[in-house]
Structure 1
């Protein structure tokens, strides 16, 4: 399927993967893809910014539930420093000791340290292909990738849209209008 992705869209998927890896996450999802689409060099950055969707807004959502599913801000409100707890546990039991318990699986990236696609990210990529076919596009560029991400109806992406004061239908309409103008 990736042969249908343009060089720019592949770069966005790679940036999403790198974002998850840098955060120590065993997987990356739709919100990581959305974050990558807001970064400098993205051809849809301006349309996202016009809707209030910036890297900072997406990063807030990504930071709400870090790898392992523990909410650092909620624990901090109780006086618990998640980083200190994690460091102490890893010092005693080894690196990644909390990942198994909190992640409901191995909690670790695949061999080679590469995060896996979540089911939501896989769905978004599949929907991007469907969007390209529907729009008679030559390939999947960042705008079509964005349509797939929004169409996937991911809870974290929806939270970003709500925080930004927009909704999926409005954003989709603007992206599709932009695609028609550039065709």
Structure 2
């Protein structure tokens, strides 16, 4: 599938890894895919989000608010922040286990960018991020594009609909249907 990605879409996937690392997260989720797109505001799809008021800094702040930074957990506990209470509140909204690291599930041996291979030093994609990437291919096919562009990645995140990327978009007050139409018009 990765061979269908445009150079910019490949750059966005690589940037998602960097976004996850920068937040101290040991996985790549839909929120990291969204942040990676917003890191390049000159991209037409990112421009749609930025024009709607959702820029990289705003989205990153929302992700931090929802999940925190991995390396800050001990610091928060040392100043009296009850992390169990925070976990309970987040899970009451997003579902049990949402903050847990992705389960170590045996996967068939695959080649490519999207496999989870911690032994090789690769950061695993969450199931929702993998679904969003799969949906980006479906969006490309639906739009008869012949390639997967950055806009298709955003459409995949929106279509997946339950990951933190979609949550950040919704919490910012953006209408998913309007956003889809605007991105489709720019992506083609």
Determine if contact 1:31/1:157 at 8 Å carries over to the other structure: yes
Unaligned ranges ≥5, structure 1: 83-101
Aligned to 2:166: 158
Q: 1:32 to 1:72 in 2, by over 3 A?
A: farther
Aligned to 1:27: 27
> How many residues were matched structurally?
157
Runs of 4+, deviation exceeding 6 Å:
70-73
Q: Distance in 2 between matches of 1:104 and 1:177?
A: 35
Residue 120 (str. 1) matches residue 128 (str. 2): yes
Q: Distance in 2 between matches of 1:19 and 1:67?
A: 11
Aligned to 2:43: 42
Q: 1:44-95, CA deviations, whole angstroms, 9 ceiling, x for partnerless residues?
A: 2211111221112211232121366x9799x67x73398xxxxxxxxxxxxx
Residue 143 (str. 1) matches residue 143 (str. 2): no
| TM-score of the two chains, using structure 1 as the length reference | 0.73
Q: Distance in 1 between matches of 2:160 and 2:81?
A: 35
Shift of 1:167: 1.9
Q: Which has the larger radius of gyration?
A: 1
Unaligned ranges ≥5, structure 2: 84-99, 105-116
Q: Distance in 1 between matches of 2:163 and 2:4?
A: 27
Q: Distance in 1 between matches of 2:135 and 2:9?
A: 14
